[in-house]
């Protein structure tokens, strides 16, 4: 009898351990929403026939709810926010408050806007440009008749694209172009125009039909007439891929590589119109559990890139001082909550030019993390350029560049 009880007890213990171990093994690591596209409005002054975010409602969350949701995303790991719509610049005062909040309060690495360009004004840029890293303008054709046929304005869209480019250059914001390749522009040669506009990034999308949004004659729009084949999209890409700014995205990559937040702060599954519950109600992690987001596709489409602008007024100072190990690969591990007014040093591999970025100040932090056979290092120091040289005698190659700037907010490239 005693042996039987012992056997039962052992069996029970093994069963409990198996359940717990199974739970540990099946437990998913938290999703990290590095880059989020927040489409806070569905309202738009254009009627692009393939737009998947159709104007079903005019709902906009209160600014207080937006702040709360954005804080939740930041704590979950968000580093980049992209404001889109609809047309976000139909609400210039709200948008100005949002970009300022994301830079000043959240300390995000990158704040960007996607716009059709028709409502971007000098007044908005004078007020908000300091908080914006990238402005992307939608431009699907350099033939105004094609733009009209698509629904992209009524004949003045190209002039608006030019104006956006000029305002971005004037205010030091990175200028980006987004193009949707579709049935009406797939044979166009845009090389000359792209080279003239010189965007820092040209995103080229294969037109995508989203289930439940614009995929039938029962939805507000029916985008099926714009669809092209994968081969037709590839032909367009082959014609333009020599441009350094060119970044293509096929339907396959797009469907699983974006985290899109709608006007209720719900995540959308791109390609399937069903949203999650609002992060305001269930939190970020619980909402993300119901989104299909493929991190590999995110990296494949170049989801992480040089997404921060250069701060205004920095100076380059060249100097040589080092006898360092050539085999060492060093790079900055960036945390947006670094102490203000600190000296920041970025040391990179031979592929990327070694840089030092200088902030006069009093705070000091030094961290180093070894990953695989490369060494990733971030140094925060006090002092002058000579202090930097002395502190880094063991670390990198000669040929430093110092970027000196008096203000806070220096970003790692």
Do the bridges between strand 374-381 and strand 365-371 make them parallel or antiparallel, or are there none, so unpaired?
antiparallel
Is 378 one of the catalytic residues?
A: no
Choosing from 8, 48, 139, 392, the catalytic residue is 48
Dihedral sign for Cα 153, 120, 244, 377, please: negative
Is 389 one of the catalytic residues?
A: no
Is-cis flag, bond preceding 40, omega within 30? no
User: What stretch of H or E contains 147?
Assistant: helix 144-150
Do the bridges between strand 355-358 and strand 400-404 make them parallel or antiparallel, or are there none, so unpaired?
parallel
3-class DSSP state for residue 306?
A: coil
| Spatial separation of the C-alpha atoms in residues 245 and 242, rounded to whole Å | 9
Choosing from 8, 51, 168, 389, the catalytic residue is 51
Is 102 one of the catalytic residues?
A: no
3-class DSSP state for residue 238?
A: helix
Q: DSSP string of 257-305? A: H--EE-TTSEEEETTEEEEEEEHHHH-HHHHHTTS---HHHHHHTT-SS
Least Cα distance to 409 among 132, 85, 34, 72 occurs for 132
The terminus-to-terminus CA distance of the chain in angstroms comes to: 71
For residues 88, 92, 98 and 102, what is the CA-based torsion angle, rounded to 10 degrees?
A: 90
For 188, what's the count of Cα atoms within 13 Å in the CB-facing half-sphere? Answer: 23
Phi, psi of 254 (to 5 degrees): -65, -40
Catalytic residue IDs: 44, 48, 51
């Amino acid at each position: 009898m005693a042996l039987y009880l012992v056997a039962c007890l052992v069996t029970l213990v093994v069963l409990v351990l198996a359940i717990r171990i199974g739970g540990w093994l099946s437990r998913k690591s938290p999703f990290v929403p590095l880059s989020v596209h927040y489409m806070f409005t569905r309202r738009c002054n254009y009627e692009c026939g393939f737009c998947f975010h159709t104007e079903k409602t005019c709902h906009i969350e209160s600014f207080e709810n937006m702040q709360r949701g954005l804080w939740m995303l930041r704590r979950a790991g968000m580093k980049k926010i992209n404001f889109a719509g609809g047309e976000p610049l139909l609400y210039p005062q709200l948008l100005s408050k949002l970009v300022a909040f994301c830079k000043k309060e959240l300390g995000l690495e990158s704040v960007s806007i996607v716009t059709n360009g028709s409502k971007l004004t000098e007044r908005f840029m004078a007020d908000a440009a300091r908080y914006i890293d990238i402005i992307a303008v939608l431009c699907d054709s350099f033939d105004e008749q094609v733009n009209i046929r698509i629904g992209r304005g009524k004949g003045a869209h190209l002039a608006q694209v030019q104006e956006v480019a000029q305002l971005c250059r004037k205010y030091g914001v990175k200028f980006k172009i987004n193009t949707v390749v579709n049935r009406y522009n797939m044979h166009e040669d845009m090389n000359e125009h792209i080279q003239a506009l010189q965007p820092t990034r040209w995103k080229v999308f294969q037109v995508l039909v989203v289930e439940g949004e614009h995929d039938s004659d029962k939805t507000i729009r029916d985008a099926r007439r714009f669809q092209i084949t994968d081969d037709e999209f590839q032909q367009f890409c082959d014609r333009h891929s020599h441009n350094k700014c060119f970044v293509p995205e096929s339907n396959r990559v797009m469907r699983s590589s974006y985290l899109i937040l709608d006007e209720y702060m719900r995540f959308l599954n791109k390609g399937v119109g069903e949203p999650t519950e609002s992060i305001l109600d269930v939190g970020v992690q619980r909402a993300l559990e119901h989104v299909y987001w493929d991190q590999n596709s995110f990296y494949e489409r170049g989801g992480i890139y040089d997404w921060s602008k250069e701060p205004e007024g920095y100076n380059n100072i060249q100097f040589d001082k080092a006898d360092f190990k050539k085999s060492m690969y060093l790079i900055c591990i960036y945390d947006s909550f670094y102490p203000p007014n600190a000296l920041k040093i970025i040391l990179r591999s031979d592929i990327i030019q070694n840089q030092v970025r200088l902030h006069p100040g009093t705070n000091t932090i030094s961290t180093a993390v070894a990953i695989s056979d490369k060494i990733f290092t971030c140094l925060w120091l006090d002092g002058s350029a000579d202090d930097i040289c002395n502190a880094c005698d063991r670390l990198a190659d000669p040929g430093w560049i110092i970027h000196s700037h008096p203000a806070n907010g220096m970003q790692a490239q």
